[in-house]
Every structure is written in C-alpha cells, then in structure tokens.
C-alpha cells in the first residue's frame, strides 16, 4: 500500500494508537558538571551506555545559560534517530574520547570532544565518594529545556563531584562551584555522577503520519501500519483476551480495552534494553482509559488522570489528561500536577488532517488553564 488513509476510512479501527513523542533510554552512567564565568554555557553532562563488548555510546549535552541544550552524539547511526521529528534538530555527531576508571572505589570519567561550535571540550569528573543508593530518585531538571521537554529522569545510585574535577573549553579552565561543604569533613562540588540512569522524555516535535493498514477484525496477528515519511511503524495485536488487547512492536506496547466498537488506551509502555534479556519500561498510564484517536470524525471528549512510571518506580509524574475537539483538530493535553518542577511543562499534542495524512504537533509548556480539572 502507499502512504495515506486506509480505504475503509470509517472503520471503527481506523485509529492513531500512540500520538505521544516519547523517548526512553537506559544509561549505565550519567555525569554532569556545572561551571561559572563562561559567557554562554552553564553545564556539560554525558549519558553513557556500555555494551558487553566494551563499546560505548555517549550523548553529551551542553546547557546554555538561556536553558536551551545542544546534544552531541558519538554514534553517527544514532544522529538521524535523535533528530527525527524534532523542530530544532540541535543534535550533532562528534567523536568522543572516553575513559573510565575507579580509584579507591570512586569514579573518574574523562571526556574529550569538539562542541557544535568547534571548541575543544575537556571534561574530567572525579567523584567525591563512592556512589550510594541513598542518593537516588527522581531528578529535578531545574529550568533546563523548560519549553521543549517534559523529562522524567531517575537515578539508582549517585554522588557529588570532588574537588579535583576540572572543565576546560579551548584550553581555558572554568571554576566549578561548591554544592555541599561540611567543614573539616566533606566538600562536594556542583556536579553529579550516577549509575543506572533512566532518561525518559516527551519533547517538542512535529510528525506526519499516514495510515496504510488497519485490522479487519481485532484478533491476534492483525494490526496497524503507519507511514512517517522516514519509515514505517507497525503495531500488531499480540494478545486478545475478551475485551483486553495487548498491541505492540519491538519498542512500544499499548494496553487497550474494546468499548463501544472502538478502543480505549489504558497504558503506553516504551521499552529500553538494560542488559541482555533485561528490559526497562517507561509507562504512561491513564485512569480511566482514554479514547484512541479516530481518523474519521471527532474523538470523544474526555477527562482522565495520567501517571508516569519507570520500571518499579511508580507515580514519578502525575497529573490530568484532557482531549477536546477544536476548530477541526484534536487537542490532547497532559497537565502535570506533581512534582512541583513539572507544573509548567504541560504537554499539548494537536492532531490535524492534511490531505492524505495527519500532522501531529507536540509542544511543551503552553498555558492550559482554560481546561477544567478532572475530579
């Protein structure tokens, strides 16, 4: 089939199952240093994956003082994926020299790479102590990417930077401020090292979607096929048990219920491999379930609650869900209520028909005060 709507446009199964631009990755290590007196930059951090053969994939991020971020990726094959659907495309490929060691149980990470502006970056993180599971939990992103992302980051073990940490840009060293000082006992600098780091995010994006296949009936092995312009996305019914359906592919699983001749979505799971035969799950759960977006006609307007979990860590972000039809478009809004740092990071996804495809636009941080709360 060619891209576009399925001929049976008015089928109750002609649906958009998963409109949210969710990205989720597990990283073995995360490291970050803040520094002062640079005219443009505030911090540099890196997320590091290591496979069983010792190969590393690194995502290094420079945060500017205006809280925007620029990504640098060590794998050229990951660059197209990273920029797919994003509006600014501020992700660059660069080789990254990486060295990791422990001294007396404390981590030392060395990174060297060229920034998106061609600057020489020298990043030498030296931990103040061994990592501790007591320093774990949901990460507050501060103001970073406040208008472009709803990040959900969780660390299992962490520690602060030590006094010997250094950051240099084009050969000039920048001062790392003190984060915590206990006279005569301990000094921790403003930098962090974590092991077992989960990075989930819903980000600003624009995606074009055509539906090329829909199921004739809701039974196992039937499914949906979508054309994105850069490739195909296929969802297959993996399990049908009464009115319960498990629908998915290698990276996403949707739990849905059949109701009134259509589907309602209870949960969207995004999968990331941690180690061989081990999968970590980012879950976006709705209570009560929400209607899938139909191709023909308006989506039933509904209010609900949402919860975001990562693995066994429940209710990391919670809030309300609303879907309304406005000016011929479907508007889906996730409004976080907890934690407090997420209050200004509402997710607004607008779905509009354009000739033979849909335009799905997601924006972060828009004012949603006009939408009533769900009780």
Residue-range domain boundaries for the chain? 15-22+204-364, 24-202
Q: What's the pLDDT at 5?
A: 43
Taking only the tens place, the pLDDT of each residue in 230-248 is 889 999 999 999 999 999 9
Banded model confidence at residue 333, pLDDT cuts 50, 70, 90: very high
Q: What's the pLDDT at 83?
A: 54
Q: What's the pLDDT at 325?
A: 86
Based on its alpha-carbon atoms, the radius of gyration of the chain, rounded to whole angstroms, reads: 22
**The Cα angle at residue 149 between residues 36 and 28, in degrees rounded to 5:** 75
Q: What's the pLDDT at 76?
A: 79
Q: What's the pLDDT at 276?
A: 62
- pLDDT at residue 108 tops 80: yes
Tally helices (H) and strands (E) across the chain: 1, 28
Average pLDDT over residues 245-254: 96
Q: What's the pLDDT at 174?
A: 98
Q: What's the pLDDT at 98?
A: 97
Residue 345: half-sphere exposure toward Cβ, Cα within 13 Å: 25
Average pLDDT over residues 260-270: 91
d(CA 322, CA 339): 19
Q: What's the pLDDT at 90?
A: 80
Query: Which of 28-32, 74-78, 310-314 comes out lowest in average pLDDT?
Result: 74-78
Average pLDDT over residues 279-307: 87
């Amino acid at each position: 089939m060619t891209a576009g709507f399925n001929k049976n446009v008015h089928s109750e199964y002609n649906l958009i199952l998963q409109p949210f631009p969710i990205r989720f990755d597990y990283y073995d290590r995360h490291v970050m240093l803040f520094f002062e007196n640079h005219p443009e930059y505030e911090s540099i951090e890196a997320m590091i994956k290591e496979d069983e053969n010792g190969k590393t994939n690194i995502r290094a991020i420079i945060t500017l003082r205006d809280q925007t971020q620029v990504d640098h990726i060590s794998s050229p094959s990951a660059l197209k994926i990273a920029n797919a659907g994003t509006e600014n495309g501020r992700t660059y490929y660069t080789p990254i020299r990486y060295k990791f060691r422990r001294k007396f149980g404390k981590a030392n990470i060395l990174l060297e790479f060229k920034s998106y502006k061609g600057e020489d970056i020298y990043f030498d993180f030296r931990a103040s102590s061994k990592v501790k599971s007591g320093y774990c939990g949901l990460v507050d992103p501060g103001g970073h990417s406040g208008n472009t992302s709803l990040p959900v980051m969780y660390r299992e073990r962490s520690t602060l930077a030590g006094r010997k940490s250094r950051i240099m840009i084009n050969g000039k060293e920048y001062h790392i401020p003190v984060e915590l000082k206990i006279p005569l006992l301990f000094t921790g600098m403003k930098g962090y090292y974590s092991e077992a780091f989960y990075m989930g995010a819903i980000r600003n994006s624009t995606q074009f979607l055509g539906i090329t296949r829909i199921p004739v009936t809701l039974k196992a092995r039937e499914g949906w096929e979508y054309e994105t312009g850069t490739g195909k996305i296929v969802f297959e019914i993996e399990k049908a048990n009464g009115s319960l359906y498990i629908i998915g592919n290698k990276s996403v699983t949707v739990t849905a219920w059949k109701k009134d001749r259509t589907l309602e979505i209870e949960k969207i799971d995004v999968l990331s491999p941690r180690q061989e035969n081990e999968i970590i799950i980012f879950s976006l759960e709705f209570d009560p379930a929400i209607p899938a977006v139909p191709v023909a006609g308006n989506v039933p307007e509904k209010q609900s609650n949402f919860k975001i979990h990562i693995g066994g860590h429940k209710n990391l972000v919670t809030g309300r869900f609303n879907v309304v039809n406005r000016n011929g478009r479907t508007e889906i809004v996730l409004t976080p209520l907890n934690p407090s740092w997420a209050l200004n990071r509402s997710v607004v996804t607008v779905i509009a028909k354009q000739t033979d495809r849909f335009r799905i636009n997601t924006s972060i941080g828009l004012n949603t005060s006009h939408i009533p709360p769900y009780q």
